[in-house]
A and B are shown apart, each in its own frame.
Chain A
Amino acid sequence: MKVLIAKPGLDGHDRGAKVIARAFEEAGAEVIYTGIQSSIDDIVDIVEKEQVDVVGISILSGAHNTLMPKIMEKIKEREIEDVVFILGGIIPQKDIPRLKELGVDEVFGPGTPLDECVEYAFGQVMAIKAEKVVEDMSQGKRGKTLNF
């Protein structure tokens, strides 16, 4: 299981990003943390090259409505699929439906317990992998071992 924790834009509030990175690591995932002020191209490059299973994006500056569409657009352009996207930070309720339409799987606000976040992401990854196995089997391929 590979997890990318990314901080796009100029926001320096990285406490949450670092804490969640550590939580994923403690839960057994391989974690890549971009550090703050990472560019959108860098983030998408890592997602593609490293074939991560989960991307956790943290934004507290209010720039999510500009940054998230750009990230998700590039993900689509490069036809990257089967990646779980979670978003954390100061995200107003009213922005969440639009973010989900863009392909963000879940948004976690302040006060979310670490386990809730990690369990959600792992659960989604498992579901995606299970779906793959079923798909492979229905096409007559031999079921591959789940790779975590």
Chain B
Amino acid sequence: MNSQKKKHMTLSGFPLKNSYTPEDLSGFEYEKNLGNPGEYPFTRGIRQEMYRDSLWVMGQYSGFASAEEANKRFRYLIEQGQTGFSIALDLPTQVGLDSDDEMAEGEVGKVGVAIDSLEDIEQLFEGIDLEKVRQIRTTANANSIMMLGLYVAYAKKKGIDPNKIGFFLQNDSLKEYICRGTYIFPPDVAVKLSADVIEYCANHLPNWTPIAVSGYHIREAGATAAEEIAFTMANMMAYFDSAQQRGVDVDQAARNIYFFLNSKPDFLEEVAKFRAARRAYAKIMSERYGCEDKETKSLKIFVFTSGASLTAEQPLNNIVRVTIETMAAVAGGVQTISTSSFDEAYAIPTEEAVKVALRTQQIIAYESGITETVDFMGGSYALEKLTDEIEKDIFNILAEIDKNNGAVDCIEKGYFQRKLADNAYQYQKSIDEKERIVVGSNMFRDEREPEIPIFELSNDTEEQQRVKLEKLRENRDNIKVERALNRIKQAATDGENLGDPMIEAIEAYATLGEITRVLKDVYGVYKPLKIY
């Protein structure tokens, strides 16, 4: 490689030295900076025994087409040894449109499964023993309170205690405005609804994960490692400040929360990032919220390997990228991992590609040996220096966000959006100019067309859902639905927690689209900024 062009820095731009020595760590104190695994500030990990005691949850992100189709894929993955799963929802579901809505045309069942009502959830979970699955995640954000309603209503109908199922809600609607895009209502309403879920879980479903505050998408959209963590922290503070104002005890409500983070191929930087995130989090929970419970100060991390790091060119190379990213997550001591499939730059993964992704985790877990010793890279001069640098940067960015009046104001002013757009553009330039190398893409290209099997979706999901909805609206008790929808409207108008009225409406088989329409009447909709 042309060494004049190569800049020595991490993916996020931290300058790197050729070697590090004790001099780089002046003032370093073991107890203060690291602590033993399972001890404050949890830099080395949140558990003493870590993976010896229990491996991370291996839960792939999947779901497409109809609930019946998605159910088949879930069962297949459980048979293959997956210990958790994540329900990918299609876009209409995520933005609260029924499958027969005009705006939903062409999108039904495409990037996830279509969920219109409780009926779809019943089909989705058919034949799966939910109490045996360690973790069930979803991508509901703007409508997370509806997802809560669906789960509770389902469990009640099946006679299971919902608190005994490992439900894990994403429920982070603020990052939708920053980058992910499935917002519905204005940002201040988003905070209210996310806080509703947090409050409801604290009171009724203490075992659930009420929120997975997400830096993943922020990083995918262009953030640096430190921005990924800092923006996530800022969003978390918006939710928990709001919950605290209502009298929710953060020490209890935040016990099971997660950060949903990215893992990119820059191995050292990612390991340092996970460690810095835990240390910064422990400080914030104890200093800002006065938390005393050790569990609440321990940051649980769910990692999804970076989809944006995958290339369409030479797709099998992606297996190697995912391996590096997964190893970084394991070296960084995370609790849940979802690995990307090598064919994701083409379509929804094939069964074979998903299996390789799961096997990648299993090989690291059972063959690599890196699970035996907790934080085995801890004490490396380079790693400790970078961990310090990232943490410092996190707090600097947080101070800037604070100066701008917190996450909601920053979203409304476009602060985050502008940063991400700038970074993304600069990154692309550096790829085009070969300042950064992506193997097989801007170097070592192979002009032959890749030949891999591509997953094909059946195209009739939209029609199936349409028919299903028509029947549903005919067969349910529409007076009961109307009453339940009115109750939601009243509760929303009065600023009450929407948990209970939501469950009632879903039990009456109101559709997500109907519920969303009622809420839009009360709250209005978000008009996005068009920053590029």
Contact = CB atoms under 8 A, between A and B. Distances in A.
Interface residues of A, number: 36
Given A35-B529, A62-B110, A63-B106, A110 B311 contact: yes
Given A10-B103, A61-B111, A114-B429, A19 B530 contact: no
Contacts of A35: 528-530
A111 B441 contact: yes
A66 B108 CA distance: 11
Interface stretch (B23-31, B384-392, B420-428, B482-490): B420-428
A124 interface: no
Contact of B528 (A36, A67, A113): A36
Interface string B500-532: 000000000000000000000000000011111
Interface residues of B, number: 46
B54 to A, nearest CB: 34
Given A10-B92, A10-B107, A63-B110, A36 B181 contact: yes
Nearest to A25: B532
A15 interface: yes
Contacts of A99: none
Given A10-B91, A35-B529, A19 B111 contact: no
Contacts of B92: 10
Contacts of B429: 114
B399 interface: no
A14 B421 CA distance: 10
B347 A22 contact: no
Interface in A59-91: 61-63, 65-67, 90
B441 A33 contact: no
Contact of A114 (B91, B95, B222, B432): B432
Contacts of B179: 12, 14-15
A140 B432 CA distance: 45
A12 B181 contact: yes
B428 A19 contact: yes
B532 A5 contact: yes
A111 B425 contact: no
A61 B220 CA distance: 16
Interface in B486-501: none
Interface string B395-432: 00000000000000000000000000100110011011
Nearest to A11: B91
A115 B222 CA distance: 20
20 contacts: A9-B107, A10-B92, A10-B95, A10-B182, A11-B91, A12-B179, A14-B181, A18-B421, A19-B425, A19-B532, A62-B110, A62-B348, A62-B457, A63-B110, A66-B107, A67-B106, A90-B345, A90-B347, A92-B347, A109-B312
User: What are the nearest 5 A-B pairs in CB distance?
Assistant: A12-B181, A66-B106, A63-B106, A10-B91, A18-B532
Interface of B: 91-92, 94-95, 97, 103-107, 110-111, 176, 179-182, 220-222, 308, 311-313, 345-348, 421, 424-425, 428-429, 431-432, 438, 441-442, 449, 454, 457, 528-532
Interface of A: 5, 9-15, 17-19, 21-23, 31, 33-37, 39, 61-63, 65-67, 90, 92-93, 109-111, 113-115
Given A35-B529, A61-B110, A111-B441, 5 more contacts: A10-B92, A10-B103, A11-B107, A14-B179, A19-B425
